[in-house]
Amino acid sequence: MNDKIKIELDKYEVGIVLNALMEYRNKSIEQEISTDAIDDLMIKFHKIYERVCPLIKSMKKEYAR
């Protein structure tokens, strides 16, 4: 089953979601719970954040050098 939900978020809202996922991930690590699903979601939201916030993309290139 491939049920997908689409929502519109601005870059501020995407940042909030990323921060919430990071907090949830940290709590899961403390409780020794697997973070695989959280990690996958964070990767998806980070890619979205890079698209809507060019500064992040340019900083990423700078650190890659």
Classify residue 39: in a domain, yes or no: yes
pLDDT in the model for residue 13? 84
Q: Which of 3-7, 32-36, 44-48, 51-55 has the highest mean pLDDT?
A: 32-36
Tell whether the model's pLDDT for residue 10 goes beyond 70.
yes
Question: How many CA within 13 A on the CB side of residue 4?
Answer: 3
Residue 32 domain boundaries: 11-64
1 inside domain: no
Q: Which pLDDT value is given to residue 54?
A: 66
Predicted pLDDT at 34: 95
Mean pLDDT (the chain, rounded): 80
pLDDT tens by residue, 19-43: 899 999 999 999 999 999 999 988 8
Q: Considering the domain boundaries, does residue 3 fall inside one?
A: no
| Domains held by the chain: number | 1
* Predicted local confidence at residue 30, as pLDDT: 97
Q: Which of 18, 52, 53, 57 is nearest to 38 (CA)?
A: 18
Evaluate whether residue 24 is within a structural domain: yes
